[in-house]
Amino acid sequence: MDYLEHITSAGERWDTLAWEYYGDATLMSPIIEANPQLRILPTLSAGLSVKIPILEDDDPALAEEDLPPWKR
């Protein structure tokens, strides 16, 4: 799998990273799973290197049945 690197700013959250990169705040699970070295806290510290998986159209995280009705 390919990744992008994101360096965090103080106060960023997992869901805001998902929104920024995927346009969907609920898709934070792939980001969390790609970064087992980072603690799952409400906010991220500044200066952390976070791997952002590049999701493919056939990725299970993007399954249509998992999307809210307004995104189907």
pLDDT computed for residue 27 by the predictor: 93
State the virtual CA torsion across 11, 49, 71, 58 in degrees, nearest 10.
-170
**Banded model confidence at residue 62, pLDDT cuts 50, 70, 90:** low
Mean pLDDT calculated for residue range 50-70? 70
Listed in order, strand segments (DSSP E) in 18-63 are: 49-53
pLDDT computed for residue 65 by the predictor: 59
- Write the pLDDT tens digit of every residue in 18-52: 999 999 999 999 999 999 999 999 999 999 999 99
> For 45, which DSSP code?
P
What percent of the chain is modeled with pLDDT above 90?
Answer: 74
State pTM to two decimals: 0.77
